């Protein structure tokens, strides 16, 4: 109870002084540059926060929820090639939007710009992507290597997981640790990404997950290699079901739909 008093006082102080600070030091939207019309801890205008939309597609993999242009890559059970080959250690995946446009800008502002209050807004969007009937025993953020966390100052997955966990009346638990630093995944092929993160994650000593349902939370899914490596570690600790929830995921459909470039004459 004593711990709640400072939190309430801090919240009251924010409400009292934020409008005054805004009047004295007006700010601009960090996304579009337009003047902010109201005081807020999130330096983004209402229009930019309204722009991102949930990811939609007519054809999804039934397991990893990768969007496709048609049903051709899916088998009779609706699974893609990677899931059929057993290369996904997780049992289901959900995301809120596509990693592009305004949503990508907001994620970069949150993740690299250090605007932590954005985590509340983004985490609330993530919670909307979860089917209402699902429940979990543990909610676990994807870990950062300690060097990267030291440079960034926080783990964005932890802040997002805290907001998602509110919906389930739980608290996120840092059950995973990254045991080795890995090269950046950008620019690597699917197989190279899987090799890059293989064995990079372990469940903390003493943690037992026998028969439990675990929700793994991260900010972005590209190929799913990192999520699969984390899920593998959770399964090795006894988890019987692991679902992945991300704020955004890479959508390759526009690239696949684009006509091939014409050769120069």
74 part of a folded domain: yes
Same domain, 120 and 247: yes
Residues 35 and 60 in one domain: no
pLDDT value of residue 9: 47
112 φ, ψ (degrees, to nearest 5): -105, -20
Same domain, 124 and 243: yes
User: Does residue 98 sit in the same domain as residue 210?
Assistant: yes
Please indicate, yes or no, whether residues 78 and 189 belong to a single structural domain of this protein: yes
Distance CA 40, CA 50 (A): 15
Domain count, the chain: 2
Mean pLDDT score, 116-120: 93
Which conformational region is residue 217 in: left (phi greater than 0), alpha (psi within -120 to 50 degrees), or beta?
Answer: beta
- Whether 246 and 179 map to the same domain: the answer is yes
Q: Do both 37 and 101 map to the same domain?
A: no
Q: Which two tokens stand for residue 157?
A: 């997955």
Tell me whether residue 3 is in a domain.
no
pLDDT digits (tens, 9 = 90+) for 20-36: 555 544 588 999 999 88
Both structure tokens of 90: 């997780």
Q: What is the pLDDT of residue 86?
A: 76
**Which residue range forms the structural domain that includes residue 95?**
55-256
Rg, Å, the chain Cα set:
20
Which DSSP helix (H) or strand (E) runs through 203? strand 201-203
Question: Is residue 261 situated within a structural domain?
Answer: no
The predicted-structure confidence for 136-178, as pLDDT tens digits, reads as follows 999 999 998 888 888 889 999 999 999 999 988 889 999 999 8
Instruction: Reply yes or no on whether the pLDDT at 5 is more than 50.
Output: no
């Amino acid at each position: 109870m004593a711990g709640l008093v400072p939190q309430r006082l801090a919240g009251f102080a924010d409400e009292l002084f934020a409008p005054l600070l805004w009047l004295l030091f007006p700010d601009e939207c960090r996304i579009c540059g337009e003047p902010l019309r109201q005081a807020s801890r999130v330096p983004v205008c209402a229009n930019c926060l309204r722009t991102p939309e949930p990811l939609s597609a007519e054809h999804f993999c039934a397991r990893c929820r990768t969007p496709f242009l048609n049903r051709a890559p899916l088998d009779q059970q609706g699974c893609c090639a990677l899931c059929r080959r057993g290369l996904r250690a997780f049992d289901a995946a959900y995301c809120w939007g596509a990693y592009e446009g305004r949503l990508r800008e907001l994620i970069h502002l949150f993740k690299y710009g250090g605007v932590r209050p954005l985590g509340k807004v983004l985490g609330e969007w993530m919670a909307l992507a979860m089917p209402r009937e699902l429940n979990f025993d543990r909610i676990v953020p994807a870990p950062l290597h300690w060097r990267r966390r030291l440079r960034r100052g926080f783990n964005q997955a932890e802040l997002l997981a805290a907001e998602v966990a509110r919906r389930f009346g739980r608290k996120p638990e840092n059950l995973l640790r990254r045991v080795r630093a890995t090269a950046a995944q950008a620019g690597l092929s699917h197989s190279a990404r899987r090799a890059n993160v293989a064995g990079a994650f372990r469940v903390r000593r003493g943690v037992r997950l026998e028969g439990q349902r675990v929700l793994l939370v991260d900010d972005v899914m590209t190929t799913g290699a990192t999520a699969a490596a984390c899920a593998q570690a959770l399964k090795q600790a006894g988890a019987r079901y692991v679902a992945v929830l991300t704020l955004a995921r890479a959508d390759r459909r526009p690239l696949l739909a684009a006509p091939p470039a014409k050769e120069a004459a």
